[in-house]
Amino acid sequence: MNIRRLAWKNLFRRKSRAVFTGLGIFLGIGTFVALSSLTMQMEGAVRDKLDRFGANILVVPRTEQLSLGFGDIALGGAQVAHAKLAVSDGEAIRSIELKDRLRSVVPFFLTATDASGKDVVWMGLPAEEIAVARPWWKVSGMLPVEKGEVLLGSEAAALLDKGPGGTVLSGGRTFRVAGVLFPTGEKEDSMVIAPIGDVQALAGSPGNVTFFEIAALCKDCPVEDIVAQIGKALPGARVSAIRQVVESRKAAVDQFRRLGMAVSAIVLAIGGLMVFVTVMGSVQERTREIGVLRAVGFRRRAIVSLLFWETGWVSLLSAVSGAVLGTAAAWLASPLFGVARTEATVTPAVIGVVIGMALGFLGSVPPARRAAALSPTEAIRSL
């Protein structure tokens, strides 16, 4: 017989109380682990989705605004590019130190030219990169897959009165309309989108690039470092992170985390309160027993130790079962939150067990102090 065993025996004597004490921790840790696991899975899913969503770094030629005037008369200004970008600059971008974080580097070329007698903007990009660069596009018909095929923005299609299977004439060439873009609300709606080589040929600028769109994998988002490295690789280019996209990614993830933490904190606080109330009740109920233990020579520390062991057993069992349940619940529920089932993550469960033990300990400190401070006189009066 030792204090540990004495505590264990007492738990079995008061099973319903032990279950009630543990219930708070069980539910608290179960909720915490379930929400934490879900949040972690959702964070990953959101990051992946947002990473697939599109570019977050833009590379354009460095330009300067020149003011033109004659005497006091202002004649407006003009942008002067320091250097043009070329398709080959894509290789320089892909050779930076953080190249592993680059999911796609897509060159774009824009030019305004005739299309079946109408002036429209042509946007060229590698045909095979269209689905990567604009995964959210919905198309009636097909995406262009080879030279001589174009995709019309919805407004451009209306302007040219063309649809899938139709043709567009430009620069003495005939282009087949592979598909028409559903309205996006973006500038692409009024553009003709074609393989970059065709657009460069129409503009007479083979190999030239207007800008690069780069999608960086943003798990820990060292986007500033990527920007700096690309800037170093292309001194004549202006490289900028599309801050809004990056920030919105972080905000979305943080929102999930905050929600999970808030709900977990509330449930854990309730669990801690349940421990406090039940252990305090137990101390009051067991005044006589504590009196007997004091009478047979138990020191105050031994009484505290007895209560801590009791709460410790309950906390351990409840926290472990809560963690198992929470992990299983998160795994089962993940498809409901739009997250694919992956391997269950152990970290929230381990943290949950530690928190559960700490919660049990904290919840039992005031009752244990009260029990230790209980004078034998007070306890003996009830004998």
Partner 1 sequence: MGPFIKLDNVSMLYGNNGTFAAALCGVSFSIVEGEYAAITGESGAGKSTLLTVLGGLQVPTSGRVVTAGVDLSELSADGLADFRKRTIGFIFQAYHLLPYLTARENVMVPLSPEKSSHREKSDRADALLASVGLSGKENRLPSELSGGECQRVAIARALVHDPAVLLADEPTGNLDTTTGEQILDLFSEWHGRGKTVLMVTHNRANLSRSTRIVRLRDGLVEEDRRMSPSGQAMGLRG
Distance CA 308, CA 236 (A): 68
Pull the structure tokens for residue 333: 């529920």
Query: Residue-wise over 148-181: b if at least 16 C-beta within 10 A, else e?
Result: ebbbbbbbbbebbebebebebebeeeebebbbbb
Least distance in angstroms from the C-beta of 17 to partner 1: 12
The angle that helices 300-333 and 3-13 make with each other, rounded to 10 degrees, is 60
Annotate each residue in 353-382 with x if it binds partner 1 (CB under 8 A) or - if it does not, as one string.
----------------------xxx--x--
In the complex, what is the shortest distance from the CB of residue 332 to partner 1, in angstroms, rounded to a whole number?
39
C-alpha distances (whole Å) from 14 to each of 8, 9, 17, 292, 318 are 10, 9, 5, 18, 16
Does 169 engage in binding with partner 1 (CB under 8 A)?
A: no
Q: Please say which residue, 12 or 136, places its beta carbon nearer to partner 1.
A: 12
Using the rule CB under 8 A, give the single segment among 1-9, 119-127, 152-160, 362-370 that binds partner 1: 1-9
Quote the least distance from Cβ 380 to partner 1, whole Å: 5
Q: Which is nearer to partner 1, 83 or 295 (CB)?
A: 295
- Strand positions, DSSP E, the chain: 57-61, 63-70, 73-81, 85-86, 102-115, 118-125, 139-141, 149-152, 167-170, 173-181, 191-195, 208-209, 211-216, 237-241
Least Å from the CB of residue 371 to partner 1: 13
160: left (phi over 0), alpha (psi -120 to 50) or beta: alpha
Task: Decide whether 4 or 52 has the Cβ nearer to partner 1.
Answer: 4
Residue in 13, 79, 220, 251 binding partner 1, rule: CB under 8 A: 13
The residue written with tokens 């929230």 in the block is: 348
245 contacts: CB under 8 Å, gap ≥ 6: 50, 53, 54, 55, 56
Residue 227, both tokens = 């920007």
> Nearer Cβ to partner 1, position 13 or 138?
13
Please choose, out of 2-10, 231-239, 315-323, 347-355, the segment that lies near partner 1 by the rule CB under 8 A.
Answer: 2-10
Residue 16, interface with partner 1 (CB under 8 A)?
Answer: no
Using CB under 8 A, which of 108, 256, 276, 298 touches partner 1?
A: 298
CB burial of residue 23 (10 Å; 0-12, 13-18, 19+): middle
DSSP string over 287-321: HHHHHHHHHTT--HHHHHHHHHHHHHHHHHHHHHH
> Contacting partner 1 (CB under 8 A), which of 159, 228, 292, 358?
292
Give me the DSSP letters along 212-229: EEEEE--SS--HHHHHHH
Q: Which stretch binds partner 1 (CB under 8 A): 16-24, 43-51, 298-306, 331-339?
A: 298-306
- Nearer to partner 1 by Cβ, of 339 and 368: the residue is 368
The site that binds partner 1 (CB under 8 A) totals a number of residues, namely 28
Span near partner 1 by CB under 8 A; candidates 208-216, 275-283, 292-300, 348-356: 292-300
Of 150, 100, 108, the residue nearest 125 (C-alpha): 108
Q: Which of 80, 288, 337, 362 binds partner 1 (CB under 8 A)?
A: 288
Q: Considering the complex, what minimum distance in angstroms separates the CB of residue 312 from partner 1?
A: 16
Residue 296 sits in the site that holds partner 1 (CB under 8 A): yes
Q: How far is the CB of 11 from partner 1 (least distance, A)?
A: 9
User: At its nearest, how many Å lie between partner 1 and the CB of residue 302?
Assistant: 4
For 38, 61, 264, the CA distances from 261, given in Å and listed in that order, are: 11, 44, 5
Decide whether 257 or 370 has the Cβ nearer to partner 1: 370
Stretch in the footprint of partner 1 (CB under 8 A) among 44-52, 175-183, 301-309, 354-362: 301-309
Residues that bind partner 1 (CB under 8 A): 1-3, 5-6, 9-10, 12-13, 288-289, 292-302, 305, 375-377, 380, 383
